[in-house]
Amino acid sequence: MKTRLGYLGVGSMGRVHIDVFARRCAAEAEGIALFDPHEPSRSEALKLLPRARVFDSAQALIESDLDAVVISSPNYTHADYAIAALAAGKHVFAEKPVATTAADCRRMVEAARQSGCILFIAHELPYSAWFLKIRELLERGAIGTPQMVWCQEFRIPFLTKVDQWIIDERLSGGALVEKTCHHFDVMNRWAASRPKRVGAFGSKRFNHVLNIPTEVLDNASVSFEYENGVVGTLQLCMFAPHRGDDNLEMGLIGEEGLLETNCNRIRVWPRDRAKRQEEVFNLATDDGFGGRHIGLVEEHQAFLAAIRDGTRPPTDVRDSAAGTLLAIAAERAIKQGAVVEVEKS
């Protein structure tokens, strides 16, 4: 029997999820319902799901005859929608970030624990060939034990969303919560630890769109420390020119070498080059759905497999919450001008 899916939020990312489930997972899943208060988004979604039932409220959809709910609504709605769906006995596939506040992150973790249902967070990178190759390199000791991790993303501003919710921190959680929770999640996994404390600087210099006090920052520099002593840095700029595949660079250093990557390529530099030469791995990253959203198809397949097999997926909320909590703490560190503790889930 196919998993019956209902969609809460069918804007640009919601329609990507509809498309992937329909085109790559049709043997296991079918979209039968949707809710979105924005009529143009509904109309576009119905082109992909012409037989779907359109509900007039999120709760009505959640209470309908579904197996799972796909949440792609604005960030501030994630917690309430996910918790209501879990309470109704539905599995949940929720877009990142987990939530916009630490309290809501904890509420979601506890709701998932009590319900016994899956609360899957849509961090696609851990399902990609790129991430799996780096994991393989780390497991064989290519750079030794990780000691430092980093991420640098210099990119164009946020794309337009309905009512520009993405650039109001009250609705999105802030630029670091919306944008870099992905990368914090990956670095958490590389460090094999939970983030402990963080300090950060950031501001809004050039991207003045809403011209309100809660407009998200457009640049930040973040430093953080893990419980196991690994340290990390992240730099974000949202007013840089587009540079194709070089907008995002990440890496880590161990006592035996350095690994650097831009998601298309992985380069490993051994510390002792007299004994071992550098290695370069080139990977394809465009699967025809999400552009550079590598791992996109695989994450949808993993969600359905977790439902089918009753297994805990790699991006279960209990693990993925740490990346969002680090982003939330970094936003707080900027506002307070202080090093702050990262809350636990």
Inform me whether the pLDDT recorded for 137 exceeds 70: yes
Of residues 245 and 29, which shows the higher confidence score? 29
Residues of the chain within CATH 3.30.360.10 domain(s) are 126-291+321-341
Quickly count: other Cβ atoms within 10 Å of residue 232's Cβ.
24
In this structure, the dihedral spanned by the alpha carbons of residues 263, 265, 270 and 271, taken in order and rounded to 10 degrees, is -60
185 and 323 in contact (C-beta within 8 Å)?
A: yes
* C-alpha triplet 30, 75, 94: angle, nearest 5°: 30
Rounded Cα–Cα distance for residues 196 and 115 (Å): 28
Quickly count: other Cβ atoms within 10 Å of residue 317's Cβ.
26
**Please, what is the average pLDDT of the chain?**
95
This prediction has a pTM of: 0.96
Handedness of CA 328, 331, 332, 333 (dihedral sign): positive
Tokens of 244: 């194709």
Tokens of 79: 């917690």
Identify the band that residue 289 occupies on the pLDDT scale cut at 50, 70 and 90: low
Percent of the chain with pLDDT over 70: 97
246: DSSP letter: G
Inform me whether the pLDDT recorded for 134 exceeds 80: yes
Which pLDDT tens digit goes with each residue over 297-314? 999 999 999 999 999 999
Tokens of 275: 């004994």
Superfamily for domain range 126-291+321-341: Dihydrodipicolinate Reductase; domain 2 (3.30.360.10)
Identify the band that residue 264 occupies on the pLDDT scale cut at 50, 70 and 90: confident
Residues 6+ apart with CB under 8 A from 37: none
* C-alpha triplet 151, 153, 159: angle, nearest 5°: 140
Residue 144, judged by CB atoms within 10 A of its CB (0-12, 13-18, 19+), counts as middle
- DSSP-based three-state secondary structure for 231: strand
Residues of the chain within CATH 3.40.50.720 domain(s) are 3-123+299-313
Tokens of 195: 């983030």
Rounded Cα–Cα distance for residues 239 and 284 (Å): 27
Inform me whether the pLDDT recorded for 290 exceeds 70: no
State residue 214 phi and psi, 5-degree precision.
-95, 15
Return the CATH architecture of domain 3-123+299-313: 3-Layer(aba) Sandwich (3.40)
Which pLDDT tens digit goes with each residue over 140-180? 999 999 999 999 999 999 988 999 999 999 999 999 999 99
Q: What is the pLDDT, as a whole number, of residue 339?
A: 98
Rounded Cα–Cα distance for residues 69 and 6 (Å): 5
CA atoms within 13 A on the CB side of 121: 28
Amino acid identity of residue 262, one-letter, is N
Identify the band that residue 245 occupies on the pLDDT scale cut at 50, 70 and 90: low
Q: What is the pLDDT, as a whole number, of residue 272?
A: 87
168: DSSP letter: B
Rounded Cα–Cα distance for residues 210 and 168 (Å): 8
* C-alpha triplet 256, 259, 260: angle, nearest 5°: 155
E strand or H helix at 58:
helix 58-62
Which pLDDT tens digit goes with each residue over 58-86? 999 999 999 999 999 999 999 999 999 99
Inform me whether the pLDDT recorded for 292 exceeds 70: no
Window from 65-74, 99-108, 270-279, 314-323 with minimum mean pLDDT:
270-279
Tokens of 93: 């596939």
Q: Left if phi > 0, otherwise alpha if psi is -120 to 50, otherwise beta: which for 204?
A: beta
Q: What is the pLDDT, as a whole number, of residue 286?
A: 59
